[in-house]
Amino acid sequence: MGARLEAALARAAEVERELAEPATAKDPAKLKALGREHARLERIRKVAAQLDKLRSELEQDHELAGDSDPALAELAQADVELLTPRLEAVEAELQELLVPPDPLDERGTRGEIRAGTGGDEAALFAAELLRMYTRYAERRGWTVEMVSLSEGNMGGVKEAIFNVRGRNAYGRLRFESGVHRVQRVPTTEAQGRIHTSAATVAVLPEAEDVDIGIEEKDLKIDVFRSSGPGGQSVNTTDSAVRITHLPTGLVVQCQDQKSQLQNKVKAMEVLRARLLDRMVAEQEAERSRERRAMVGTGDRSAKIRTYNFPQNRVTDHRINLTLHRLDETLDGELDEFVDALTAAHRGERSEG
């Protein structure tokens, strides 16, 4: 920890010098990046100072605990017992802060939810997942913007694409990517049998213009009329937009905005996010060909979590965490899962 702390403190001084340079104020992107880094390093500096103070106090108390005055020694020993767990907690916090952060974590994110196997029941579950993430965002003071919504029967959702913007939105939601499975008795089930349905969730970092260079010659853009559930026309003009990225074959479309231009802008945002996600996944694959654990890999193909209604149980299969608080989880109380997944990921990165 010593070498990492020394490097972080040296970098903190360097960042402060860069922030004070007139050229930095003229470069908004650099200013924003340095501001984020400064906030992180300043927290490290404060926790390190707190740790030094606790160590000093504990050292003095250890000396006084051997004093010839019994009353003084007893007071000092009581302080030792009080300060030791606090010192250990601050050491652990500093250890976590010193793990190099993923620069994408601080960004906003794009969420994509799609109903999987299970027909209408899967679409209803997809709608519940959409509400769960919306409620989680509200609890954290983030904003949610719907990009595209394809509704199913009975209030279900076939597909939802939405933006979540706020501090550390991608960092908190990135491990939600994968197959979410629900086990319950559908309202349409007369025999009371438990059915299993699924929905897929993809969480992508919000792409910035500097991340992905997209050339016009690589795009095929089609326009068509927007349509509502069941194919009913909701627009008499060709305002919906479909964009195909020819080098990769990725296809995105948007029809929820009022104009063709707005739909094109939204579709390009989706395309950038998916291209960035693909680039990040390729980099991760190169760094870890074995891909030992799903935490941090963004593996979309594996079942990551099961929501069991009869047992009021939610289980995350990657970290073997089970909570018997299904209603609260679906109401957006996700922090216990998010914290555990983040800790597991941080542990892997510190080992690496």
Domain boundaries of the chain, sorted by first residue? 2-97, 109-209+299-351, 216-285
What does the pLDDT look like over 182-224, one tens digit per residue? 999 887 666 778 889 999 998 888 766 555 678 888 889 888 8
User: For the domain bounded by 2-97, which CATH number is listed?
Assistant: 1.20.58
How far from chain centre, in Å, is Cα 291? 19
Is residue 5 classed as helix, strand or coil in its secondary structure?
helix
Of 109-123, 127-141, 316-330, the least confident: 109-123
What does the pLDDT look like over 171-185, one tens digit per residue? 899 999 999 999 998
What does the pLDDT look like over 222-231, one tens digit per residue? 888 766 544 4
Summarize the confidence of residues 288-300 as an average pLDDT.
Answer: 39
What does the pLDDT look like over 8-34, one tens digit per residue? 899 999 999 999 999 989 988 888 888
Q: Which residues pair with 219 in a beta bridge?
A: 245
> The whole model's pTM is what?
0.64
Q: Dig out the tokens for 340 from the structure.
A: 């555990």
Residue 333 clears pLDDT 70, i.e. is over it? yes
pLDDT score of 54: 93
**DSSP assignment, residue 325?**
-
Q: What CATH number matches the domain at 216-285, 3.40.50.720, 3.30.160.20, 2.20.25.90, 3.40.50.2300?
A: 3.30.160.20
Confidence of residue 350 (pLDDT cuts 50, 70, 90): low
Residue 300 clears pLDDT 50, i.e. is over it? no
Q: Which residue has the higher pLDDT, 307 or 192?
A: 307
Summarize the confidence of residues 140-164 as an average pLDDT.
Answer: 91
Identical fold, 2-97 and 109-209+299-351 = no
Q: What is the DSSP string of 188-248?
A: T-TT---EEEEEEEEEEEPP-TTT----GGGEEEEEE--B-GGG-B--SS--EEEEEETTT
pLDDT score of 4: 83
Summarize the confidence of residues 333-345 as an average pLDDT.
Answer: 91
Residue 348 clears pLDDT 80, i.e. is over it? no
d(CA 168, CA 203): 13
At 261, which amino acid appears? L
Domain 109-209+299-351 has CATH 3.30.70.1660: yes
Summarize the confidence of residues 318-347 as an average pLDDT.
Answer: 92
Find, among 212, 237, 213, 211, the residue nearest to 224 by Cα.
237
